[in-house]
Amino acid sequence: MTKPLEIYEIIHRVGQFVPCWMPNNKRHHNRLYFHPRDLIACIMVCRLWRTSLAPLLWLVYDERQMSIGWRIPTEVLRAHNSHFRYVLLSQFQPTFTLQATCLRELCLQNEALSTQANMDLIGSNLRLTRLEASFQYEEYGRLRSVLESLSQLQCIKFEELSLDKHDSLSSFLNNNPGLQDIRLRDPLYISGFKGCRPLVNLTRLELYDVDWEGNPGLLELISLVPNLTALNFVHRGDSSSIMTELCATLRENCPKLDWIRYRNANSRIGCALRAEHIIPWIQASPRLVHFDTLASTFTTSIYWTLICHASWIDTLCLKFLKGVEENARNTSKILGHCTHLRSLNVIHASTISKLSLEWFEEPWRTDNIESLCLKGFTDPLKRVSGLKQPDHFDRMIERPSRPRIEAEENIFKDLSQGWTPMTYDHERSRITATAWAFRDMVFRRMRDAPRLYKLTVECFGYVNNSQAPVGCSFAGLESL
């Protein structure tokens, strides 16, 4: 009788659960690093396991980590490049010429696209479903024939793409009707899409660091995506008149749009962050579910526009440059009227000068809240001694007594079982009394929230892993 672990297919399937790429928790937490030791140990068990599992070791080839970091010999990579399915190249002079012909995803960073061998690599993999390329303002005309040979792309991410007056992406897009995700960063001279058919499968569009005046054809692109559901838009300059036209185009042509992230690349200087620029974006969706933006302040006009979507809003991420009373009052109102809200982040670049808890008198509806983050409503830390403090500051920094601290910790413990501190950014002795009081007030309001699993108030962060969604867990500290 054949044992299960002597069957090639079963061994291969089990090997798919042995990770080669691990998250880097210390640096670049959103990236993975090559960690093949566990899979190599499995490969060394016997000849059958080696035959079954070795292809899994080479599914992903990252030039930076495997050739430069791990210094894997070129002859070894060349011998196994037929197994490559995802490839990331970043060097102008590649370590060796890839002969892979079964790629599904290809990422060409920095000057990698300038190499003829890498251009040929695109033409040798006509079944690519994802292509990321940094054009470095390379003329599209030189690459047109290679790119237009592809027909199965589902996602493209082009950086610094440059067209001239005779170029157009229409043929490329027509050849890839299955495109679902388009991401363009800092494009140049996109003037139009004449002859381009509607992109009926496209649901996500990202336009990052866009000079709108230099790319007038992007407005036509948006009119060609009737099933768009998510838009991530970051533009340069003050183009308020064009933004109004863009939002009108979204309302007319994208009835399914419900996820919007709108930022200005010059937001640090307050460009295009006033209410009159934010409101048209909220109105661009007939049924807004997710909204992420950075504005000067949380004005009443922004609040009333958001309330029109109160029955649908699921996630709000609002960042404000200025901390004012109006921000606090409208935040409280949002928690009171958006009954389907699951996640709310309200963060200030500069703190409110003097917080009053009376601003939060609006009752909160917390039945569906899962994650709440409130930062910048008060200065959580005592200021450095020797600096001149405002008159009210002495009352803010009074150190609570030990019984007071224990009572505050009991508020945290009484929330429910399973709660632990997730972050503790500063020493307790530096936290102001106002920050403690603000935390206590939020905790009392959220005490009965049945779905809450993550709570951040100023420098306090807490998580309940027993309530967290499957696959989402956080490491907590042992004690407050």
Residue 385 is classified by DSSP as: T
With beta carbons less than 8 A apart as the criterion, state whether 216 and 246 touch. no
Letter string b/e over residues 403-430, b meaning 16 or more CB atoms within 10 A of that residue's CB: eeeeebeeebeebeeebbebebeeeeeb
**10-residue mean pLDDT series, the chain (480 residues):** 78 88 62 85 89 90 81 85 90 75 92 84 93 84 89 95 84 96 92 92 93 86 96 77 86 96 67 78 95 92 95 94 90 93 92 83 90 90 52 38 47 57 63 87 87 90 78 45
Q: What is the reported pLDDT for 371? A: 94
Q: Residue 271: CB partners within 8 Å, gap ≥ 6?
A: 237, 238, 264
pLDDT at site 314: 96
Cβ atoms within 10 A of the Cβ of 132, count?
Answer: 16
Whole-number pLDDT of residue 364: 92
DSSP codes, 284-350: T-SS--EEEEEES---HHHHHHHHTTTTT--EEEEEESS--HHHHHHHHHHHHH-TT--EEEEEESS
Q: What is the pLDDT of residue 407?
A: 46
Dist. CA 207–CA 222, nearest whole Å: 11
DSSP alpha helix (H) spans, 447-479 = none
pLDDT at 204: 97
Give the whole-angstrom CA distance, residue 360 versus residue 330.
9
Q: What is the DSSP letter of 466?
A: T
Q: Give the DSSP per-residue string, 57-92.
A: HTSEEEIIIIIIIS---HHHHHHHGGG--EEEE--S
Q: What share of the chain is helix, strand, coil (3-state, %, to 5)?
A: 35, 20, 45
**Phi and psi of 309, rounded to 5°?**
-110, 20
* Bridge partners, residue 106, by sequence: 87, 131
Distance CA 152, CA 178 (A): 7
Report pLDDT for 345: 96
